[in-house]
A and B are shown apart, each in its own frame.
Chain A
Amino acid sequence: MESKISISNLNFFYGKAQALYDINLEIPEREVVAFIGPSGCGKSTFLRTLNRMNDTIPIAKVDGTVLIDGEDIYSSKTDVVALRRKVGMVFQKSNPFPKSIFENVAYGIRINKMQTSKSDLNDRVEKALVNAALWDEVKDRLSSSAFGLSGGQQQRLCIARALAVEPEVILMDEPASALDPIATQKIEELVVELKKDYTIVIVTHNMQQAGRVSDRTAFFMLGKLIEYNPTQKMFTNPDERLTEDYITGRFG
């Protein structure tokens, strides 16, 4: 299979405490990979190693290699800004900026100087909002505050904001965990739709969600990758006993 992201022998430490142990994982292009596992198992930490968000934590230390399109993102030559533009991220709690709806989406475009003109900027913002399935709901109030949107709309705005900088990979850290079932369904439909153009890695606590949206699933426990298989197989006939116990709800 064609790997977009290739992780080998990844170990991760918060100071002296080791959070991830010898992770090896291949993430194929234009697929959805779900990370599941009990709280504190390291799946969010692992997700954040893929766009170097852990750089903001002074005591964090990464060991091993993460290749994206064959390039080591932890090499000293890596431009972190360019990396994060290529690998977008959507967070657990929607985090719109204290700006208008339009400016929220335009922010990434502006800081990366992607727009060629004012109308090009408008087009890009519109396209991102359309792709995030939010355009119809906000097109008449683009200049009003992003905080006036509902929780689900705010989360789709954050997705639009991530899409606007034209990433190739999108990391989602429990994007629907704070949303009601209707809003969750919208996000899930969106993930399946976005798969056509993007490689998506999604952390979720919701087993059914992993089953519905993902092509492959990785199960983590206590910082170790227990099993990584096509979702279909994972949910019907897992290789590991631990996986089965977790999926069927015997613990976790």
Chain B
Amino acid sequence: MLSALMTGLTSACAVFAIAILVLILTYIAVRGFSAINLEFLIDTPKPVGEGGGIGNAILGSVLMTVLATGIGLPIGIGGGVYLAEMGSNWFGSIVRFLADTLIGVPSIIVGIFIYTLIVLPMGRQSGLAGALSLAIIMIPIVARTTEEMIKLVPKSMREGALALGAPEWRVTWNIVMPAAASGIATGAMLAIARISGETAPLLFTALNSRFYNYFYDQPMASLTVQIYNYATGPFDVEHQMAWAATLILVGLILAINVAVRYLARRRY
């Protein structure tokens, strides 16, 4: 009786959790789909009534996410490997504690930090500053998941390689890392998805731009900031575009998820 009740209760929670996600996705799709067309995807924002699109925002988001990943992923993975393989000393404990703290720091604070460190000395907002703040958000997440995934690799596998005369670094590089690869990729993916949805740290680092901008030293548009601008505008047509941009953002994150899962699938 109690068992049936608990099964029912947990099932209900599971359904509820999924239902919310499905509801959000459907609502975004329904509201956003009608406003999407080719022009919307490639055009830059225009005054209300003249159409306009999110082409530059998509480009800006992609450019900043790519740079942030390029900086954050290697540092995060490298740090995670250190924590897992050599981090059982006091230094490791400190790094681990600080990484956990950094994960909990609100992203807008990271934005302020970069604003002081990069934006003020440079004299203007830039894509670089935006990407750096995203990278800072990414590093501790990637480092901690990498560490956890590496620790899951059975000790016996490591010993098997050591017993063949493999030096420690080769064991880490060609046995432990491949064994943990799909887990590490999942962590990386979550981090990328997280940063591509960040708005707060971009508001005063990358700012925004009404034009296509290919240079990291200039202010850069991003999907999230563009959504914010459209959604807070007074006109209905802007709200429509905010929904459409949201749909595109969700689609991009989904595409990243699928791509990384495919790349990191278990081959053996």
List the interface of chain A (C-beta within 8 A of B).
51, 53, 56, 81-85, 88-89, 91, 93, 95-100, 107-108, 111-112, 145-147, 158, 161-162, 165
Q: Give the CA-CA distance A146 to B268 in the complex, in Å.
A: 7
Q: Which residue from A85, A97, A100 sits with its C-beta under 8 Å from B165?
A: A85
Is the pair A91, B268 in contact by a Cβ cutoff of 8 Å? no
Size band of the B side of the interface? 20 to 34
Q: Give 16 A-B contacts (CB < 8 Å), ordered by A residue.
A: A53-B159, A84-B162, A85-B164, A89-B159, A95-B157, A98-B178, A107-B164, A108-B164, A111-B170, A112-B164, A112-B165, A145-B267, A145-B268, A146-B268, A158-B160, A165-B164
With A84-B164, A147-B268: A95-B179 Cβ-Cβ less than 8 Å = no
B156 interface residue (CB < 8 Å to A) = yes
Is the pair A93, B159 in contact by a Cβ cutoff of 8 Å? no
Is the pair B163, A162 in contact by a Cβ cutoff of 8 Å? yes
**How near does chain A come to B101, taking the closest CB pair, in angstroms?**
28
**How near does chain A come to B185, taking the closest CB pair, in angstroms?**
14
What is the number of contacts between chain A and chain B, taking CB atoms within 8 Å? 71
For the residues of B in contact with A, the DSSP-based class is helix
**How near does chain B come to A252, taking the closest CB pair, in angstroms?**
25
Q: Which residue from B154, B266, B267, B268 sits with its C-beta under 8 Å from A95?
A: B154
Q: Which residue from A88, A98, A107, A108 sits with its C-beta under 8 Å from B268?
A: A98
With A98-B178, A100-B268, A146-B268: A107-B162 Cβ-Cβ less than 8 Å = no
Is the pair A99, B156 in contact by a Cβ cutoff of 8 Å? no
Task: Report chain A residues within 8 Å CB of B268.
Answer: 98-100, 145-147
Q: Give the CA-CA distance A84 to B156 in the complex, in Å.
A: 16
Closest B residue to A90 by CB, please name it: B163
Closest B residue to A101 by CB, please name it: B268
Closest A residue to B180 by CB, please name it: A98
With A111-B165, A147-B268: A97-B160 Cβ-Cβ less than 8 Å = yes
Q: Mark B148-189, 1 if CB is under 8 A from A, else 0.
A: 000000101101111111110010001100110000000000
Is the pair A81, B167 in contact by a Cβ cutoff of 8 Å? yes
Is the pair A88, B163 in contact by a Cβ cutoff of 8 Å? yes
Q: Give the CA-CA distance A85 to B167 in the complex, in Å.
A: 11
Is the pair B166, A97 in contact by a Cβ cutoff of 8 Å? no
Q: Give the CA-CA distance A110 to B159 in the complex, in Å.
A: 17
